[in-house]
Amino acid sequence: MRFDTKVVRAAIEPDPTTGAIVPPIYQTATYVLPEVGVDKGFDYTRSSNPTRQLLEENLAAIEGGKHGVCYSSGMATVDSVMRLLKAGDHVVSSDDVYGGVSRLFNEVLSRSGLNFTFVDTSHPGLVKDAIRPETKMLWVETPTNPLLKVTDIEAMAAIARDAGIPLGVDSTFATPALLRPLELGADIVVHSTTKYLSGHNQLIGGIAITNNDEIAERFRFFQRAIGAVPSPTDCWLTLLGIKTLSLRMARHSATGLRVATYLEEHPKVQRVTYPGLKSHPGHEVARRQMSAFSGMISFELEGGISAGKQLLNSLRLCRLAESLGAVETMITHPATMTHVCVPREERLARGLTDGLVRLSVGIEDAEDILEDLESALEQID
Ligand SMILES: *Cc1c(COP(=O)(O)O)cnc(C)c1O
């Protein structure tokens, strides 16, 4: 099967009892045994569920991996990956990781004895220098949130291989429609299925995918032992969303490039960051490893916080909301929203300036999105 076919069909067969083309939702906690010591492959939904299993098989096939293990959120997924490690182990991680991930690393896992070094992984030399004898994982997000830094996965895989450690990639912003890290040498791929994979702002979920049997066995154990599992209905809704993944990512990417190009020429916009623009420092790497550039854009307004507030309060179509990767266009202002708790000095040091705005371009008509931005930009004095 080719990619666009896999998205719709991988692992999905007609329901054996009725022929239903859409698999049913097995919304059950437990399964009746026909006799002592015999089961039909399922015993309790924390351990296994037919709807969840379909999602795991479908997403693993789409990502080009052998095993998929679903969790109740993207955060629970990242937590599970880090449970491969033990106290005293060290992780080299991308510096501009999703806010929830840096909170998990710095405020939760560091208290259980894991140590983290954050580097700009778009520079392989910095990554190499940060590896120590006790480094047990290389963790990369690409493109990153919200600065859309791009990391060369093949270069990271070579460094991880030399060090004898696994490379984990949070590929939420790209999705397997645009980037397949396992094919480039990564050992583990993680997604928040909350975003583009489910795609319609309808649920919270996550998945880890790997070709490594031993790692997959550990993930299955964590899934069962910790119990951060998604509901069967959420798995079913995710499967439904995935069917249009290729179409949606093509549209997100086409509109993303149009909007980024428009913003780059606007006099009230100081700087636009979008991996699809030639001005992006990671453009060449992105072009090499991605088939398109997704719908995430960040841009910098002349006029800082007050300009940001004026813009966001003037938009009518674009939704002021803290998520991304859905059919609706959503916009956030990190300085007053997602990163309001980060001290201003630290924010600025990380490149999260007062005028920075992050846009998740949806699949509405591009003209409507552009008109909305145009009239809101006009409102800024
Ligand atoms: C949203 C997100 C997460 C966390 O996922 P949740 O489903 O919200 O728990 C992790 N990484 C990235 C890149 C994300 O965008």
Query: Is it the case that residue 194 has pLDDT exceeding 80?
Result: yes
pTM over 0.75: yes
Please check whether residues 299 and 345 belong to one and the same domain: yes
**Tokens of residue 227, six digits:** 């119990």
Q: By residue range, what is the domain housing residue 279? A: 245-377
Look up the CATH number of the domain holding residue 181. 3.40.640.10
Q: Do residue 7 and residue 153 come from a single domain?
A: yes
Q: Compute CA distances 208 → 58, 115, 138, 168, 241, whole Å.
A: 13, 22, 15, 9, 18
Q: What is the pLDDT of residue 337?
A: 85
Quick one: 214 and 263 in the same domain?
no
pLDDT digits (tens, 9 = 90+) for 102-149: 999 999 999 999 999 999 999 999 999 999 999 999 999 999 999 999
The C-alpha angle 75, 177, 240, rounded to 5 degrees, equals: 70
Find out whether the beta carbon of 204 lies less than 6 Å from any atom of ligand 1: yes
What integer pLDDT is reported at residue 335 of this predicted model?
A: 84
Count other C-beta atoms under 10 Å from residue 122's C-beta.
23
Query: Do the beta carbons of residue 147 and residue 351 sit within 8 Å?
Result: yes
- The 10s digit of each residue's pLDDT in 269-295 is 999 999 999 999 999 999 999 999 999
Is 161 in the same domain as 258?
Answer: no
181 and 263 in a single domain? The answer is no
Q: Is the CB of 145 under 6 A from ligand 1?
A: yes
57 with 180, same domain? yes
Residue 254 sits in the same domain as residue 351: yes
**Distance between Cα 160 and ligand 1 center (Å):** 24
First-to-final CA distance of the chain: 54
Mean pLDDT, range 165-169, rounded to an integer: 98
Among candidate residues 242, 264, 299, the one where a domain is terminated: 242
CA distances from 37 to 29, 32, 48, 220, 274 (A): 19, 11, 17, 22, 56
pLDDT of 316 strictly over 80: yes
Q: Residues 306, 360: one domain?
A: yes
Q: Is the pLDDT of residue 341 over 80?
A: no
Number of domains into which the chain is organized: 2
Q: Copy the structure tokens of residue 1.
A: 């099967």
Residue 328 belongs to a domain with what CATH number? 3.90.1150.10
Are residues 250 and 221 part of one domain?
A: no
Confidence of residue 338 (pLDDT cuts 50, 70, 90): confident
Q: What pLDDT is recorded for position 340? A: 80
Identity of the amino acid at 213: D
Cβ–ligand 1 distance for 141 under 6 Å, the answer yes
Final residue of a structural domain among 211, 242, 273: 242
Confidence band (pLDDT; 50, 70, 90) for 175? very high
Q: Last residue of some domain: 198, 218, 242?
A: 242
Name the residue among 276, 252, 268 with its Cα closest to residue 374. Answer: 268
Find the 41 Cα to ligand 1 centroid distance in Å: 31
> Is pLDDT at 349 greater than 90 in this prediction?
no
146 with 162: CB under 8 angstroms? no
Q: Report the length, in residues, of the chain.
A: 381
Residue 83: count of CB within 10 angstroms of its CB: 17
198 and 252 in a single domain? The answer is: no
Averaged pLDDT of the chain: 96
Annotated active-site residue 31? The verdict is no
Per the rule left: phi > 0, alpha: psi between -120 and 50, beta: everything else, 29 is alpha
Mean pLDDT, residues 27-50 = 96
**Which residues are CB-neighbours of 271 under 8 A, at least 6 positions away?**
299, 300
Query: 14 and 160 in one domain?
Result: yes
φ and ψ at 359, to 5 degrees?
-120, 130
Q: In which band, very low, low, confident or very high, does the pLDDT at 302 lie, cut at 50, 70 and 90?
A: confident
In a shared domain, residues 138 and 252:
no
State mean pLDDT over 65-88. Answer: 98
Q: How confident is the model at residue 304 (pLDDT cuts 50, 70, 90)?
A: confident
Torsion sign, CA atoms 238, 242, 243, 248: positive
